[in-house]
Amino acid sequence: MNIPLIGEEIFFYPLILALAVFAAYKSSDIVISWLHEKTLGSRAYVLEKLEKMFVETSAKKVTWTMIAISFGPGFLVFFILLPNVIAGFIFGAIVTALGWQVPKLLVDNLYEKRCARFNDQMVDALTLLTNGVKSGLTVTQSMERVVENMGNPISQEFSLVLKQTQFGLSVEDALNEMGERVPLPDVQMFVTSVNILKETGGDMSETFGTISETIRDRQKVQKKIEALTAQGTMQGIIISLVPFGIFLVFWMIDPDYIRPMFTTTFGIIMLFIVLVLQVIGGLAIKKIVKIKV
């Protein structure tokens, strides 16, 4: 008489199910944390950056904007690739995931440009501060002159510092918060110098002049580097766009020639590999041509 293997029929599938449930339970916190970071975390990041740029908005507007930018193109790609449901679902999901990160990238770009404009205004602002201190004004009174005579974003930042001091916050703490909103080395140097001089005493006008000269020299070097790397940056953009341009040309001339890329398994795999390599190449070129001073 043949005796059935107990582990093979009775315990094998329940054991696999139990292990799967256990693994899901153990990794649930990690998965939930990752999903929160990529969804609500991205929205919170965008809202925080907009607040630092003095842009008034609401969480609802940001949420609907992110949904429109991500799910809109994703559904469009899905319907374009029909009746190939698998390819439509895969590439639609990829476009949706990438689209969800677009607002974050746009906000980062705007934030970096704002910080760059602030840094460019630092030299003129320090000149006004130096002249104000030399004429007998206090630091806050000199900041008022900066607010009156200069534009945004430095006018916004100094205006907020003055308002915070009027509501009882110390100048040191208000400047530290400005340094957090504009995390640049030159700004940190200015904030640290002012805070130290207010505690220890010293010639503040001379210090402002020294900081202004340092920032001016740094900006000269930065502009020279940008001029030298401009060609590499443009080459990277062109190289990244060439494959997509060739794809559009083939699609317009002979759609049947390019259609197997979306209708066959091998074509989908090759298209995915191309997209991954394009992203890696673009990031590598950006890292090479970007030099920080």
Q: For 176-226, how does the pLDDT look when each residue is reduced to its tens digit (9 = 90+)?
A: 888 888 888 888 888 888 888 777 776 777 787 888 888 888 878 878 877
| pLDDT of 27 over the 60 cut | no
Please check whether residue 30 lies inside any domain of the structure.
Answer: no
Q: For 125-165, how does the pLDDT look when each residue is reduced to its tens digit (9 = 90+)?
A: 888 888 887 888 887 888 888 888 888 888 888 888 888 88
Average pLDDT, the chain: 77
Please check whether residue 85 lies inside any domain of the structure.
Answer: no
Print the domain residue range for 132: 121-222
80-88: long-range contacts (C-beta < 8 A, 24 or more apart)?
81/262, 84/262, 84/263, 86/268, 87/262, 87/263, 87/268
Please check whether residue 53 lies inside any domain of the structure.
Answer: no
Please check whether residue 199 lies inside any domain of the structure.
Answer: yes
- CATH number for the domain spanning 204: value is 1.20.81
120 contacts 219 by C-beta, under 8 angstroms: yes
pLDDT band at 39 (very low <50, low <70, confident <90, very high): low
Q: For 43-54, how does the pLDDT look when each residue is reduced to its tens digit (9 = 90+)?
A: 788 888 888 888
Please check whether residue 28 lies inside any domain of the structure.
Answer: no
Please check whether residue 148 lies inside any domain of the structure.
Answer: yes
Q: For 84-111, how does the pLDDT look when each residue is reduced to its tens digit (9 = 90+)?
A: 777 777 777 877 877 777 888 888 888 8
More confident residue, 266 or 39: 266
Q: How many domains does the chain have?
A: 1
How many whole angstroms separate alpha carbon 262 and alpha carbon 243? 16
Please check whether residue 252 lies inside any domain of the structure.
Answer: no
Please check whether residue 196 lies inside any domain of the structure.
Answer: yes
Q: Model's pTM, two decimal places?
A: 0.68
Q: Which residues contact 67 (CB under 8 A, 6 or more apart)?
A: none
CA distances from 202 to 113, 199, 207, 285 (A): 34, 9, 8, 46
